[in-house]
């Protein structure tokens, strides 16, 4: 899959999975707008790696929990280059059950994990004109379709993002394909890390997904025609089945 000449905005792409997606797409020719909130040093490192391979990269800071800043991210990115797609990856993952969920945790989690993807998607659709086409990819979690009692605000936000994916796929058709990738165990979260022995038995395929599989899935969903839209692909080894 050749992304030469394409420009992709990836939120939360200075670290972890966002970083891996940015580097993989750049390795396949894409130019990348690297969004970060606080990780400026890491964002610059990702940009330097991409530029060293001959691709273009830009970094942009935005606090996506602030809707006013979220509304401006796509227009600001467009000043670098017209966007061909966006990946709504930035998220927070608080460890809490209902009795630990304060109003601040609830509002902050939904602001970043749900409201920001909506505002970015809306801005992207408004920027495309005429016959221009594009792609939106939302990063979900296997928990989105199998909610439990833990990670309450996070799970609710990702479940709602799954619904938003299906709704916007209809609203933005036929020019913009809107799909989602529901991830399982790839990189463990920082803090309170369960061991592989805790996780693997719950995965039907008995293994973690690889970065190569993540990259291939992202590239597939960003390179398809709008005939594939409103799809949620699970990259979780079957974890959502249990």
How far apart (Å, rounded) are the C-alpha atoms in residues 50 and 52?
A: 5
Q: Which of 6, 38, 158, 206 is catalytic?
A: 158
Q: Count Cα neighbours of 31 within 13 Å in the Cβ-side half-sphere.
A: 16
- Tokens for 102? 């304060």
DSSP string, 121-180: HHHHHHH--TT--EEEEEEEEGGGTS--SSSHHHHHHHHHHHHHHHHHHHHSTTTEEEEE
Q: Interior CA angle at 58 toward 164 and 216, to 5°?
A: 55
- How far is CA 16 from each of CA 20, 90, 117, 228, rounded to the nearest angstrom? 6, 10, 19, 27
CA distances from 213 to 22, 140, 165 (A): 14, 16, 22
Interatomic CA distance for residues 198 and 202, integer angstroms = 8
Q: Among residues 74, 26, 66, which one has the least CA distance to residue 50?
A: 26
Query: Is-catalytic flag, 38?
Result: no
What contacts 167, CB < 8 A, 6 or more positions away?
A: none
Kindly list the catalytic residues: 158
């Amino acid at each position: 899959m050749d992304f030469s000449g394409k420009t992709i905005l990836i939120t939360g792409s200075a670290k972890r999975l966002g970083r891996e997606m940015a580097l993989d797409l750049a390795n396949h020719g894409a130019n990348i707008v690297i969004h970060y909130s606080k990780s400026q040093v890491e964002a610059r490192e990702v940009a330097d790696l991409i530029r060293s391979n001959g691709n273009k990269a830009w970094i942009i800071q935005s606090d996506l929990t602030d809707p006013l800043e979220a509304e401006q991210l796509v227009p600001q990115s467009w000043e670098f280059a017209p966007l061909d797609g966006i990946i709504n990856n930035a998220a927070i993952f608080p460890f809490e059950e209902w009795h630990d969920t304060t109003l601040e945790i609830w509002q902050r989690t939904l602001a970043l994990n749900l409201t920001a993807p909506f505002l970015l998607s809306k801005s992207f659709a408004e920027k495309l004109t005429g016959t221009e086409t594009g792609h939106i990819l939302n990063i979900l979690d296997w928990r989105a379709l199998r909610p439990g009692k833990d990670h309450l605000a996070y799970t609710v936000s990702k479940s709602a993002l799954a619904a938003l994916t299906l709704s916007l796929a209809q609203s933005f058709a036929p020019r913009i394909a809107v799909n989602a990738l529901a991830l399982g165990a790839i990189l463990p979260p920082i803090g309170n890390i369960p061991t592989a022995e805790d996780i693997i038995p719950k995965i039907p395929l008995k293994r973690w997904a690889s970065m190569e599989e993540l990259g291939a899935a992202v590239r597939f969903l960003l390179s398809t025609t709008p005939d594939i839209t409103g799809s949620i692909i699970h990259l979780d080894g079957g974890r959502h089945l249990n």
